[in-house]
């Protein structure tokens, strides 16, 4: 069994505040939000990173992007949002299970959301 924290969330071994789920993907609130609304969307399948993804991952990655607007609106983000995918060492990726951050709130977002002190 994978020790990956997001695989464990998919299996229900670690709780999450779920906002959307289907057979291929899961969306839940980030535990340490960078913005008033901060949701993560992950593929249920363990894909390490956008840096390693390939054509075999095309369907689920397309599906995640195609559902992003609906998931954002379900959280009240009716006037836009930001998406971020951190990839690999240079991207400061911390969890090596591909995830898309949805960030938003009532006011326009600032320029740099992720604290620079986070390695
Ligand atoms: P990244 O730096 O792009 O890899 O982002 C990883 C994100 O996962 C961070 O924003 C963390 O706060 C978030 N995170 C880590 N563990 C959990 C968890 N158990 N539930 C929800 N979010 C988490
Ligand atoms: Zn995983």
Question: Which residues, other chains included, contact 112 with Cβ-Cβ below 8 Å and sequence gap of 6+?
Answer: none
With 0-12 / 13-18 / 19 or more C-beta atoms within 10 angstroms meaning exposed / middle / buried, residue 105 is middle
Ligand 1 closest atom vs CA 101: 3
Kindly report, residue by residue over 61-115, the tens digit of the pLDDT.
Answer: 999 999 999 999 999 999 999 999 999 999 999 999 999 999 999 999 987 666 5
pLDDT for residue 56 is more than 80? yes
| Residue whose entry in the numeric block shows the structure tokens 């992950």 | 42
**pLDDT more than 70, % of the chain:** 92
Confidence of residue 119 (pLDDT cuts 50, 70, 90): very low
Question: Ligand 1, from 5, 14, 32: best to mutate by most atoms within 8 Å of Cβ?
Answer: 32
Token digits for 78? 């009716």
Positions marked active-site: 99
- What's the pTM value of the predicted model, to 2 decimals? 0.94
Compute φ and ψ for 58, nearest 5 degrees.
-60, -45
- Domains in the chain (CATH in brackets) are 5-104 (3.30.428.10)
> Which ligand is the nearest neighbour of the Cα of 13?
1
* Residues 93, 87 contacting (CB under 8 angstroms): yes
């Amino acid at each position: 069994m994978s020790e990956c924290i997001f695989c464990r969330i998919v299996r229900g071994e670690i709780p999450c505040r779920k906002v959307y789920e289907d057979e291929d993907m899961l969306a839940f609130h980030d535990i340490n939000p960078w913005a008033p609304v901060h949701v993560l969307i992950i593929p249920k399948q363990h894909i390490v990173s956008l840096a390693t993804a390939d054509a075999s991952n095309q369907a689920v990655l397309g599906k995640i992007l195609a559902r992003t607007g609906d998931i954002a609106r379900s959280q009240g983000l009716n006037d836009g949002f930001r998406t971020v995918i951190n990839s690999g060492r240079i991207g400061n990726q911390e969890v090596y299970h591909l995830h898309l951050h949805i960030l938003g709130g009532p006011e326009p977002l600032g320029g740099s959301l992720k604290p620079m002190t986070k390695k």
